[in-house]
Structure formats: structure tokens, C-alpha cells
Structure 1
Amino acid sequence: MKANRFNMLMLAVTMLLTFVLAACGNSASNSENNSKNGDNSSTAGNSTEATASAEAGDKKPVKVVWWHSMGGELGTAVKQLVDEFNASHPDIQVEEVFQGTYDESLNKMKASMDADSGPSLIQVYEIGSRFMIDSKAVTPVQNFIDADNYDISSLEENILGYYKFDNQLYSMPFNTSNPVLYFNKDMFKAAGLNPDQPPKTFEDVAKAAKALTKDGKTGASFAIYGWFMEQLFANQGKEYVNNGNGRTAPATESLLNTDAGINTVNWLKEMLDSKTALNLGRKTDDTKKAFLAGQIGMTLDSTGSLRGIVDGAKGKFEVGTAFLPKPVGLTDGGVVVGGASLWILNNKPEEEQKAAWEFIKYLAEPKTQAVWHINSGYFPINKKAYDEQNVKDNLAKYPQFQTAIDQLHSTKLTPATQGAVMGVFPEARQTVEDAMEQAFTGTKDTQKALDDAAKAITEKIQTYNKTVQ
């Protein structure tokens, strides 16, 4: 790829991308890794074998620099995985480097390309996938899969599906989640609702919210989060952008203002207007706090938050989980995976790229995935991880996670559930959140708010597409 072309792309996309709330990893935790070069000593002698042995001992391990956005406890879990890999692979040494939020990390990658000071491997959130492909800066992992004849049959098809384009797997999933409905079982019982039959439809949720709103408590609160809108489109079996959700050809138009968007916003607005739901803004941290304080009976949140929510409610109330709701009468649809995947940069030597691939394979192993799942709360991407005893024990401790597993496995992979892709997704997500706020506060009616947002997103998509043609 020519530098001039890349620079033009970087400039254009940087102008379009804006910071969005990162799914996870807000605290910095940079770690240093132990580099084990092995024992370089050798016995004296003039034999060819002794000379070869000494040369092998002197050979430095291949260094792989991995940029990630896992801070706090997740950063500690990442360091554990890296340390274990380095201990068992003396010929490769991975250096994990925390780079802030997903947006911050991606912007740093762009700035590093010409200077060749960037990483060998980078974790990028799912909505950055279209940009990563268009950047021409990556080697698809499919190349390594084919060269190794690597078996991916044990990996989750619905997770791989998001990161496949033209039947090519461009990156390897790492941290994966989807949203579920969390509800307070104790509040359900007190309101005369059956906690063993949680709401399944938009209408069920509205009825439950009305019953739960009493004694100073409110039925629900759902963060104004673009990710939820994307998920609720998919759960209705509807595409978010045209051209097969941007997968049969690059998207050129937003479908935000179609029936799926109108139905979703009106459903939420009606609960807010009737005061059976609270508008707590855009941060899921705020709805989570209200839920754990017993102020609201239901909320939407990521499966990656499940362990923290269940532990936070311990001794106060029992947490229930249910599938993402959909309008009554719909049977199609399902959830889109969220989270991030690992991309190998193509401006590094072949040896370094191969070493990064070895690390990726290690991360995908059942035992590694079991440890990552337990320490992070994210899905294992390898189905065989569920056979590990530590995962079985964890599921017994957190049975609510079975809901997330069942929801993932019950999702039929279609363009809608595979997930939308567009080069301006971060900015589009903020535009959607603006429109939702306008509709909820009455600044604009629902149709007008979504029409304006769809038009703005469409214009941004088309501008972006011109930069990569």
C-alpha cells in the first residue's frame, strides 16, 4: 500500500471518527512482560552439533507488540494470559501495551503507521471492522488459517460470523458479549409477577414496568446507547444499513428511520412518558447503579457485566436474566455479538506476523478461553471451553449466564444478526443517540428525529466511501 494513499485515508477517516463510549477498559494499566531468552550457555567443543546448539541458544525470541484496551481487572486478566504464553513459548515474547479506549487505540495506530512504530497485533472493537479492512493495513487471519490448515470448527459460528467478509475471516474474535435483559426477581415477586416467566416482548416489558412502578421505585431504565438500537434492529430481523447490512456491498444508506427504528423508539418513549421508565442518559454505568440500588426493576446491559451485577446484588436481591425483547408476533431475529477482535498488521516482517498468529491460536485454545471467560465475563469463543471443569463450576455459580449462551446459540446467522458494517460506525452511533434523546425529550417527534439522523448518517457513509474508492 502506498503511503500517500494511506495518509489520505487516515486524514479522511480521522475527520469522520469521533470518540464513543468504549465497551470496556477505561482505566490504564500498562504492564511489563518478562522476556525469557533461555540459557545461552553451551558446553565447549568444536562439533557441528555444539555450534548449532550455541547458535540456537543465542537466537533472540521474536517480539510481538500487542495493543489492547483492557484496563483494570480486565488488564490484569490480559497480563496473566500473556505471561502464561511467554512462559510456554520461549521463541516468542508478547509485550502487551494498554492504549486506552478503543477509539484512542485506533487513533494511535493510524498515527503510527508511517513511522512503523505501531503494534504487531491490535485489539479493535467490532464497529471498527470496516475501517480496518479499508485501511489495507492488515493481513487477514484467513491467510494463516489456510496456510496452517487450522481447524475452526470448534469456534462459535455466530461469533466468527461478524468478522467474516466475503467468506474470509479478517480478524480473530477475542472479547465477545451480547445484551440481555436484567431484572430484579424480588421486585417481580412483590409486584405479583412471575420471575420464572420474564418478559419476552416489547409489550411484556411495558406491562411489567407498569406493575413494578410503585413505592418510590420505577419499572425500568434503559441507557440511550446506540449499541442497544443496533441489537433491537437485529432482534427484529431487520438490517441497519442497506446492501445486506453493508456485507454484500459497501453500505450507502442508513435504514434507521424504517419501521424497526420507529417501533423501538416509540416503545421506549411510551414507557418514559408514562413514567414507568427513567431516562438516566447514555451511560450504562448509571442504569447499572440504579438497578443495583433497587431503584429500577429492569435494565439492559452487556453479558460482560453479568458477574459484576450478580455480585453487586448479592445480599440485596436475586438477579434474573432474559433474552433481549422484540415486538409481539416476530419470530425472526437474534443478537449481534459485541466486543472486539484481534488484527495482525501487515507492515511487520513475516516472522513477526506468524508469531502474532501463534499467540492468537493460543488465546483461542479451550483452556485459555476458559480462564479468560471466568476472569472477564466474556463469552468463550471456543465451544470446547464449556467442557472445562472451571467453566462448569463458574456456570453453577452464575447460572444467569446460561441465558446469554442460549441466546447466542438460538440466533440464526443472517445479514441482520451478522451485524451492520460501515466505515463511520462510531460517529453514526453518536448520531443515533442524539436522535433518541431528541425523541424522548420531545425536541422532535420520533419520525423527524430518525429521518434527520438517517440522512446525516447516509451523507457520512457516502463521504467515507469516496475516500476509499
Structure 2
Amino acid sequence: MKKFGKSPFLWLLIVAMAILTACTNSDSNTNSESSTDGEKGATKEPAKTEEGKVSIEFWHAMSGTGQESIDAIVKGFNESQDKYEVKAEYQGTYEESLTKLRSVGGTKDAPAITQVFEVGTKYMIDSGYIEPMQSFIDKDNYDLSQLEENILNYYRVDGDLYSMPFNSSTPVMIYNKDAFEKAGLDPEKAPETFSEVMAAAEKLTKDDMKGFSMLTYGWFFEQLVATQGGLYVNENNGRTGDATEAVFNGPEGRNVFDFLDKMNKAGTFGNFGTNWDDIRAAFATEKVAMYMDSSAGVAGAIANAPFEVGVAYIPHADEVKRNGVVIGGASLWMSKGIAEEEQEAAWEFMKYLTTPEVQAKWHLDTGYFAINPKAYDEENVKAKWAEYPQFKVTVDQLQDTVPGYATQGALISVFPESRQQIVTALEELYQGKDPQEVLDKAVEGTNRAMEIANKTKK
């Protein structure tokens, strides 16, 4: 998750231009189906290796251990059969990769597979660049029931799966068990509601340690709204029609901002800004006792802390039941306009990725969820969970999530811009401004961005 959100205004411009380009592509495709000159909608012979294997490109945005794991998985696939060869290519951040895709999307030069962050889902569906996964699922009678339902739901629209989930994560609350014990709190029972978190934060705050913190980042706000059953935008979170209005300034959003505002004013909240490394370092150095992180950050928190680390579900408002979490991360998209054999190669690779053995490796290498829950029955995963039971908490929270429009997540093409509006609202909140006022301002900014995107699309 930490790769995105660096340039929201540039991203909004890219989205607007790309949607306009996609509309133009759609018109030209009608008249160019038999073309072989590389224009939009062109057909061609598949690229092949010297050995005669169909060769495809897989564009991704994973660096570090994620890239190392992808390279190993691709190597395993290439050695597992003699018909296809996948070439994994790092393309920079999610934004950088998608900008590159825009220049070749819908043509024979597009990569067969592109990894796109979850908030790019609406844009990709509207782009005209992609072939929905559902067409291959139906053709191959692929059994989707073997995959994690609460991960698939994000990438489904009107019952059809548009992309294959890949690196998936959710937020969790991570806490210092040693600090809990010293403060007279039960280290095996983390607070569950906003009021319980506030009460615990008051007891945990002393000397240089704050009780609770949350990264100044829109993703966490979205999650705290969704777990209350709240929507982010109208049209059932954009799932039953194009969203035209943000609604996150309603009671659920106000509950979140009041929760943070009260702790900030009480001096029990630690504001460590927008950088993931800074808030994680603050936890490891005991400057904060509880904080929100990605499930993919659990392993690092355990490894870096000189104390016992606990992992818990994210908190929810007192007056509501917990609904659960919205999936984050990214998924894999199949290109339209490439050779049919290249699409077949991409589909075979995606099926390979979903196998329990491969998903077990991906889960252990990176901390991301296994999209095939049978991976958790693999012996190497069982051994890891026995050593670190905190990992199981992240999976339990995902599987306990109640399906619905709130936890399915919002679909809007200008999500990065909206998240920046939330960042600004949180910063102003911590400076002492009225919670409702800053929320309303963020809604207005999101509405303007959606209006521009929707007009451009038309």
C-alpha cells in the first residue's frame, strides 16, 4: 500500500486524459479489427522465444522482497511447462506503471498482464484496455469458489470478475503487549471500540509514549467508515451506478473524526505524519503503544520491536456492530488487443498464481494474504503461524468480514485525489479545526473531482 498517493493532482489529470483516450480507442476499434499495422485494436502473431514458447510481458510495481518473490514465482511457472514464458518487468510505482500502460493500452504492444492498485479498478474497467477475467473464467469453467470470497468481491462488478486479485492486504491494529501489562491492561485483549481505544490510550500515555496513532492517510479513514457499515460515495459505493456524490461526511465519517479529535485534544494521540516508515519507527521505539498498519506490515512490526507485539481487528464506533474491512493492495489485469495465444498464456499464468503452493509462498514471502485459502493448510504456513500467531488474526478479520456494499469498497476513478482530500482534512483536524467543517470540505473536493471525471468520460 505504501507505494501510492505521491501525486494526486497529476493522477487526476492522467485519469481524465486516459478516459478520453479510451473513448477514442473504443470508436477506432470498431473499424480496425483486421488491421496489422500496430494501431489500436490491431491483431498480430504472438511473440515467441527461440524455443517456440509464447512469450508475454507481466508489468508490476513490486520492489524489494515483493519483486524477489515475483521473480521466483515466474521462474517456477516457466519451468513448469514448455508452452509459455512469462517475463516479469518492474515498471516503478503504481502511478508510473499505469502511465506507461496508457501509452500502449489497447494495442498489440500492451503487456499481457499489468498489476494495478485497487483504487485504479474503476478507471481500468472504463478504459477499454482490458479483457475481463470473467470471459476466461466462463470459457474454462474455472471454479472461483476456491478463492477468498471477501477478496474477490472488491474486483467484482454486477457479478463479473474483472481482474485477478494478487497482492491483497487489509488494515489491522498493532499494539505493544508489554506496555499494556505495565499500564494494567490485559495484553491478550485489545480494545475493540472507539471508546475502549480512547480509555486504553489514556492509560498508556506517559513520558514519551502516546497511546494511539494512525497514519495521516485516506485508506485508514475509509476502513473505519466501512467497518461501521458506512458508504464512501452514493450509488451504493458506485457499485450500482457511476458515483456522483461523496457521502463520507455522514455519521460514520463524523464518528471517525470525533474519535481522532478527542484523543488529539486529550494529548493521547501521536501524530507521526504521512510516512509509513515514521509511524512504524515510532512504534518500534515505544513512542506510541497502539497504531493502525497494513496486514502486510505485521511481520516487520514483530521483527523490529524489542517487546511482545499484539495484532487485533481495527476498532469500530460503539453504537454499531463490526462489519469488517475492505481489501487493499492490487490485482492483475488482462490486456485486450494482444494476440489470442498471449491472452491464453496470461490466463494459464494467473491460474498458476492461484494454486495453494504458490499462494503459500507469496503469503510467507511478503505478508500479503493468500487469495486461495487452501494455502493456509500448507505445512510451511502452519509452521509460521505456530511461531507467529499474529498472522492468523489478519486472516480471521478478513474472513469475519460481512459482505455488503460498505465492505466491498467504493468504485470511483478519482480515488487518489479523494484520498488527498482526506489527508488535508486530517491535517486541519489536528490543527484544531472543526471535524464536520473539514469533512464537508473534503467531500466538496471529491465531488468536484468526480464531476470532472464523469464529464470527461461522457
Is the shorter-chain TM-score for this pair beyond 0.5, marking a shared fold?
yes
Partner of 1:411: 401
Q: Hey, what does 2:32 align to over in structure 1? A: none
Change (3 A) 1:391 1:328: same
Name 2:338's counterpart in structure 1: 348
What whole-Å deviation, never above 9, does each CA across 1:216-243 have from its counterpart, x for those lacking one?
2211221111000110111100110000
* Cα distance, 1:319–1:441 mapped onto 2, change above 3 Å: same
1:112, 1:135 → 2: CA distance? 12
| Partner secondary structure for residue 153 of structure 1 | helix
Matched, 1:74 2:63: no
Which of 131, 138, 142 is equivalent to 1:146? Answer: 138
* Superposed CA RMSD: 1.9
- How many angstroms does 1:119 deviate by? 1.2
Contact 1:13 1:464 in 2 (8 A): no
The superposition leaves residues 304-361 of structure 1 with CA deviations (integer Å, 9 ceiling, x where unpaired) of 0111111112xx1000011100011311421001010000010211110111010000
Show CA shifts across 1:269-297 (max 9, x none): 21111111111111222111100111110
Q: State how far apart, in whole Å, the 1-side matches of 2:290 and 2:16 are.
A: 35
Corresponding residue SS for 2:150: helix
Q: Which has the larger radius of gyration?
A: 1
Name 2:410's counterpart in structure 1. Answer: 420
Q: Is it true that 1:300 corresponds to 2:289 in the alignment? A: no
Q: Structure 1 segments of 4 or more deviating over 6 A?
A: none
Where does structure 1 lack aligned partners over 5 or more consecutive residues? 1-9, 19-55
Any idea what SS the aligned residue of 1:342 has?
A: strand
Q: In structure 2, what is the equivalent of residue 357 of structure 1?
A: 347
Aligned mate of 2:430, from 429, 440, 460: 440
Q: 1:162 aligns with which of 154, 158, 162?
A: 154
**CA 183–58 in structure 1, closer or farther in 2 if over 3 Å, else same:** closer
Cα distance in 2 for residues equivalent to 1:111 and 1:346: 14
Q: CA deviation at 1:420?
A: 0.5
Partner of 2:372: 382
1:174-185 residue pairs with structure 2 within 5 A? 174-185=166-177
| Structure 2: gaps spanning 5 or more residues | 1-9, 19-47
- Distance across 2 between alignment mates of 1:283 and 1:402: 26
Q: 1:449 aligns with which of 399, 413, 438?
A: 438
Residues 332 and 109 (structure 1), Cα distance of their counterparts in 2 relative to 1, 3 Å cut: same
What is the Cα deviation at residue 16 of structure 1? 5.3
Q: Provide the TM-score with structure 2 as the length reference.
A: 0.89
The worse-fitting range, judged by mean Cα deviation, of 162-171 and 283-292 is: 283-292
SS where residue 289 of structure 2 aligns?
strand
Are the counterparts in 1 of residues 15 and 414 from structure 2 also a CA contact under 8 Å? no
Q: For residues 74 and 220 of structure 2, what CA distance do their matches in structure 1 show?
A: 32
Q: How does 1:317-336 map to 2 (within 5 A)?
A: 317-336=307-326
Quote how far apart the aligned CAs of 1:113 are: 3.0
- Check conservation: 2:12, 2:414, Cα contact below 8 A: no
Question: Which residue, 237, 247, 252 being the options, matches 1:260?
Answer: 252
Distance 2:335 2:211 in 1: 47
**Is 1:278 matched with 2:267?**
no
Q: Deviations over 1:14-46 (max 9, x none)?
A: 16599xxxxxxxxxxxxxxxxxxxxxxxxxxxx
**Identity percentage over the alignment?**
45
Letter in 2 for 1:352: E
| Number of matched pairs | 420
CA drift of 1:202 comes to 0.6
